[in-house]
């Protein structure tokens, strides 16, 4: 086997972050309880409490195929990222290409959830001995915003904000970085709604921007603030192109700014282009 140690490390990390090495164990029943009716929620709470007294736990078995998990098609119980292996590979490739070509700037992900994709970004810098670029970790750390249909009609019926599963605190994300030994001064947290944090974010130039905010508003806010700061030769990665709102935002932004760079599909939802 002739694989360089840095690549072996990054391969193992991607499998670990995406929890691809193991079958997904059942999740505690309370994890998705918010989706149930009030009656069923109370039943789950009561049964859970009774079991806990006997040091047992009420869990929900979720069966997914290996393909669904590897392709990032599910909301995983235990992985530190939900984007799947192909999109993790793409993120690594974009960063490594930018490093090889000396494309100036930092890296940002807008919409980080448990932080796994940003952890990989920090690891890629570490594996290549890069000490002068930062990874910006932008999130509300409290889930998605309620849709603002006046400003962004495309988000009118969006229900992402009801999903408590998508709200992960900054402390938890920092802890996830720490667990992999990758929390340091090159990791910068931007806490708050993108429309408030991104315009004034202390970023001069970006080499890679990865947008994963699901909604029209979250995508267009990130594009408006960040794309002008993306270096020529830098990469713009869109995670949610399969979602109508996100796709519309990308289409609108590219049309308004005359962007014709070819878009390349990563998998069933991810896509990216390189800035001319």
Ligand X SMILES: C[S@@+](CC[C@H](N)C(=O)[O-])C[C@H]1O[C@@H](n2cnc3c(N)ncnc32)[C@H](O)[C@@H]1O
Pairing of strands 271-274, 264-265: antiparallel
Closest to ligand X by CB, 58 vs 115, is 115
> For ligand X, which residue of 139, 155, 158, 267 counts as binding (CB under 6 A)?
139
Phi, psi of 26 (to 5 degrees): -60, 150
> For ligand X, which residue of 177, 189, 194, 235 counts as binding (CB under 6 A)?
194
Closest to ligand X by CB, 24 vs 44, is 24
Phi, psi of 274 (to 5 degrees): -105, 130
Q: Is 267 a residue that touches ligand X (CB under 6 A)? A: no
The residue with its CB nearest to ligand X is 111
Phi, psi of 271 (to 5 degrees): -150, 160
Q: Is 112 a residue that touches ligand X (CB under 6 A)? A: yes
**Alpha-carbon gap, residue 71 to 73, rounded angstroms:** 6
Contact 264, 271 (CB under 8 A): yes
Q: Is 144 a residue that touches ligand X (CB under 6 A)? A: yes
3-state secondary structure of 115: coil
> For ligand X, which residue of 58, 108, 117, 137 counts as binding (CB under 6 A)?
117
Q: Is 177 a residue that touches ligand X (CB under 6 A)? A: no
CB atoms near residue 90 (< 10 Å): 21
Single out the segment in contact with ligand X by CB under 6 A; choices: 18-26, 96-104, 113-121, 243-251: 113-121
Contact 112, 151 (CB under 8 A): no
Give the residue carrying structure tokens 């002008």: 228
Q: Which of positions 203-242 make contact with ligand X (CB under 6 A)? A: 212-215, 218
CB atoms near residue 89 (< 10 Å): 16
Closest to ligand X by CB, 218 vs 231, is 218
Closest to ligand X by CB, 91 vs 126, is 91
Provide the H-helix boundaries in 128-243.
170-179, 194-197, 216-226
Q: Is 113 a residue that touches ligand X (CB under 6 A)? A: yes
Contact 210, 91 (CB under 8 A): yes
Q: Is 245 a residue that touches ligand X (CB under 6 A)? A: no
In the complex, the smallest distance separating the C-beta of residue 196 from ligand X, rounded to whole angstroms, is 8
**Interface contacts to ligand X, rule CB under 6 A:** 81-83, 109, 111-113, 116-117, 139-140, 143-145, 166, 193-194, 212-215, 218
């Amino acid at each position: 086997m002739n694989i360089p140690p840095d690549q072996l490390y990054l391969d193992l990390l991607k499998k670990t972050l995406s929890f691809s090495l193991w079958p997904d164990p059942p999740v505690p029943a309370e994890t998705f309880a918010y989706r149930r009716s009030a009656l069923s929620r109370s039943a789950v709470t009561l049964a859970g409490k009774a079991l806990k007294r006997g040091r047992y736990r009420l869990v929900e078995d979720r069966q997914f195929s290996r393909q669904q998990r590897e392709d990032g098609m599910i909301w995983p119980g235990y992985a530190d990222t939900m984007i799947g292996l192909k999109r993790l590979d793409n993120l690594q490739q974009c960063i490594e290409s930018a490093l090889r070509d000396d494309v100036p700037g930092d890296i940002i992900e807008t919409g980080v959830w448990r932080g796994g994709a940003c952890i990989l970004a920090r690891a890629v810098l570490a594996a290549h001995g890069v000490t002068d670029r930062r990874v910006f970790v932008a999130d509300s750390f409290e889930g998605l915003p309620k849709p603002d249909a006046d400003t962004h009609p495309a988000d009118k019926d969006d229900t992402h904000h009801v999903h408590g599963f998508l709200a992960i605190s900054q402390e938890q994300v920092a802890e996830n970085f720490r667990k992999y030994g990758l929390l340091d001064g090159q990791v910068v947290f931007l806490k708050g709604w993108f429309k408030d944090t991104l315009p004034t974010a202390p970023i001069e130039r970006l080499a890679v921007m990865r947008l994963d905010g699901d909604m029209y508003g979250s995508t267009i806010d990130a594009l408006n603030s960040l794309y002008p700061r993306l270096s020529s030769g830098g990469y713009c990665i869109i995670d949610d192109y399969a979602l109508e709102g996100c796709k519309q935002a990308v289409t609108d932004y590219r049309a308004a700014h005359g962007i014709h760079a070819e878009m390349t599909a990563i998998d069933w939802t991810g896509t990216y282009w390189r800035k001319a």
